[in-house]
Structure 1
Amino acid sequence: MKKNQIYGGGAQFCFLIFTLFMFFSCKSGETDGELLPSVSGSSGPLEKVRQLAEENRSFADGRADNIVSHPAEIRAILERGFVVFGMTAQDQKPFFYKDEQTGELIGLDVEIGYAIANRLGVRAVFNRDAASFDEVVTKVVNGEVDIALSKLSLTIRRAELVRFTNPYISFRQAMLINRLEFAKIGPEETLPAFIRNFKGTLGVIKNSSYVNYALMNFPDAQIESFDTWDETVNALFAGKTLAIYRDEGEVLIVNFTRKDASILMKPVFINDKRDPIAMAVSSEAPLLQEWLNVFLDDYLLQNRRQLTPSRLIERHFRTGADTQVN
């Protein structure tokens, strides 16, 4: 029988007891009576992370309360006294990035990471050694990080290596097309057919999920991979590619942050192609995966209205612009 295929009732019972203990019997005042911290409200991204980080600094180097009764993969974190989250070295605003004024790490994934650590009662450590999204997954497989929390796309290929949680946000896949180059091909009303049969040069980030998405969805395209998203965008504006391919959030950000984008580029949102974003843990950590799903159920219940592409952009970029997708 393969490893992790069947788990005994005892392990599931321990997980149930652990979950009930963590979510309903914590009376120390660490959460001020609130089930989970909310990202909503008037506080900005920097203030929110500072609030969570301040709470996190109060935890000691290890937990002593009933550690033995916890599932092995969670017990290891509690005994160690900290949980390690894996992120890419490259900033991924609004998910994780350094504040321009203070240099502090902030963003949605940072807030979620601190909320998880605070619920476990351990310190949060953010490992940003990974050069790519795929390398974050590799660090989970190798045991270098406990949880991949890095705006990580849930893909079949990655799911063969790690266990994914339920998605905490989902984007439409999107393209940004060079209007001038597209005009040479045909009138704009042929856009749906143009997208379906895309044959031009398509820019994507190297070692990202969109390399495989591009190969699968646009088999006739000439795929050009770039080290970073900034390089990918610059190649499009320089006329080196006909289009670039990523999620709707990133395409919207380009439109909001580059004044010439609306004139030179055309955004296209692909409604039937989704990009679910989730956390990932080791294939040998099924109960940590379940615990995170319980955590996310409550987190999403409190913050679902904030976890949309337009709300995230509005909160972290403060453009003041209309963020509705037309």
Structure 2
Amino acid sequence: MNITRVLLLCMALCLGGMAWAQTGARARASGDAGNSPLVQVADGRMLAPDIARIVNHGELVVSMLAADNPPFFSTQKGQLVGTDVDLARLIGKELGVPVRFDRSPKTFDGVAEMVANSQADLGISRLARTLKRGQMVHFSNSYMRLGHALLINRVRFAEMAGDQPLPQVIRNFTGSIGVIANSSWEEFGRRNFPQAKLVSYPTWQDAVNAAIKGEVVAAYRDELEIMQIVNSDPSLALSLRTVTFNDLESPLSIMVGIRDLTLLSFVNEVIAQRAEKPTVSSVLKSIK
């Protein structure tokens, strides 16, 4: 190859590179949808498709359990309030849209399923991460962590334990444990107490009542709920005792659709930058 051909080839490559750069610049300047994964919304912003969907829709749809669960979410004086409600509204505020809460789900799993089926943008409802839910939705970073606990009927437990030490009986629990049906506690119960007999109840109060009456040896949920039961009625300490686990916890997360990866990242950033991060102690104080 002679020098002239080499020079011509170099000039062609340079001109081609310049043309490609100019085309890309024009596409970026014009917001050409054909060359960009972003979507232009009405106010001119270029947003990721999942974020643009919410902005164009004009609202953030949040799936939330039908039954009240204070202090996370409950209706007081006609207004929906609670720590989960505040978090949902903060996300909506940062997106620039109002929040619409859909409280049609009757179970905790139903909240996650609604998000999985694209019937809601987010699921925020005191939801713990479970292997079942992890097969159909994304989990956000945890926004609160709750330790596991048992509310134990003293008489039934004494009958089961005999002379065995408490730690040994708890770790090899063979009695009956009440849990909320279609909740994370069914999965946690099967995993953490494989020898126990799990009894599912429609509501947490039903499980607590079963423990009080001795229909089950214990009721199983997080430390916050167990402490609320005992604090609300100190006389229960005569018939019930509590056990809290330091090595078991339930991280609460927001459920996000499997296609909404930018929304997931955005939600995680809102959680990370939140000024106030609730703890068991702060939530208990707010209840009092």
The aligned amino acid for 2:53 is: A
- Computed over aligned residues only, the root mean square deviation of the Cα atoms, in angstroms, reads 1.8
How far is the alpha carbon of 1:166 from its aligned partner? 0.2
Residue 309 of structure 1 is matched in structure 2 by 280
Whole-angstrom distance in 1 between the partners of 2:134 and 2:114: 14
Whole-angstrom distance in 1 between the partners of 2:78 and 2:154: 37
Residue 211 of structure 2 is matched in structure 1 by 236
How far is the alpha carbon of 1:278 from its aligned partner? 0.3
Q: Provide, for residues 252-303 of structure 1, a one-character-per-residue CA deviation record: whole Å limited to 9, x for no partner.
A: 111111232222211111111110100011100011000111111101xx21
Identity of aligned residues (%): 33
How far is the alpha carbon of 1:217 from its aligned partner? 1.1
Residue 106 of structure 2 is matched in structure 1 by 131
1:64 to 38, 42, 45: 42
**Stretch moving more, 264-273 or 283-292:** 264-273
Q: Provide, for residues 182-241 of structure 1, a one-character-per-residue CA deviation record: whole Å limited to 9, x for no partner.
A: 223346881111110101110000000110111111111111000011111111111111
How far is the alpha carbon of 1:159 from its aligned partner? 1.2
Residue 154 of structure 1 is matched in structure 2 by 129
Residue 94 of structure 1 is matched in structure 2 by 71
Whole-angstrom distance in 1 between the partners of 2:105 and 2:195: 31
Matched residue of 1:75: which SS? helix
The aligned amino acid for 2:243 is: V
1:257 to 232, 235, 242: 232
Residue 106 of structure 1 is matched in structure 2 by 81
| 1:1-326 to 2 correspondences below 5 Å | 64-67=42-45, 69-99=46-76, 102-186=77-161, 190-299=165-274, 302-304=275-277, 307-315=278-286, 317-318=287-288
The aligned amino acid for 1:261 is: L
Whole-angstrom distance in 1 between the partners of 2:173 and 2:191: 12
The aligned amino acid for 2:120 is: V
Whole-angstrom distance in 1 between the partners of 2:163 and 2:235: 19
Residue 21 of structure 2 is matched in structure 1 by none
Matched residue of 2:99: which SS? strand
The aligned amino acid for 1:110 is: V
Whole-angstrom distance in 2 between the partners of 1:185 and 1:210: 22
The aligned amino acid for 1:111 is: D
Q: Provide, for residues 42-82 of structure 1, a one-character-per-residue CA deviation record: whole Å limited to 9, x for no partner.
A: xxxxxxxxxxxxxxxxxxxxx73234x10001101001110
Whole-angstrom distance in 2 between the partners of 1:71 and 1:135: 27
The aligned amino acid for 1:273 is: L
Using structure 2 for the length normalisation, give the TM-score.
0.84
Matched residue of 2:160: which SS? coil
Whole-angstrom distance in 1 between the partners of 2:81 and 2:75: 6
How far is the alpha carbon of 1:314 from its aligned partner? 1.5
Higher-Rg structure is 2
How many correspondences in the alignment? 253
2:65 touches 2:111 (CA, 8 Å); kept in 1? yes
Whole-angstrom distance in 2 between the partners of 1:257 and 1:64: 51
Whole-angstrom distance in 2 between the partners of 1:66 and 1:293: 25
Using structure 1 for the length normalisation, give the TM-score.
0.74
Whole-angstrom distance in 2 between the partners of 1:123 and 1:223: 41
Unpaired segments ≥5 residues, structure 1: 1-9, 19-62, 319-326
Whole-angstrom distance in 2 between the partners of 1:105 and 1:212: 29
Residue 7 of structure 1 is matched in structure 2 by none
Whole-angstrom distance in 1 between the partners of 2:261 and 2:236: 44
Whole-angstrom distance in 2 between the partners of 1:283 and 1:144: 13
Matched residue of 2:100: which SS? strand
The aligned amino acid for 1:95 is: F
How far is the alpha carbon of 1:103 from its aligned partner? 2.7
How far is the alpha carbon of 1:310 from its aligned partner? 2.1
Whole-angstrom distance in 2 between the partners of 1:111 and 1:209: 23
Q: Provide, for residues 1-29 of structure 1, a one-character-per-residue CA deviation record: whole Å limited to 9, x for no partner.
A: xxxxxxxxx75xx69xx9xxxxxxxxxxx
The aligned amino acid for 1:64 is: A
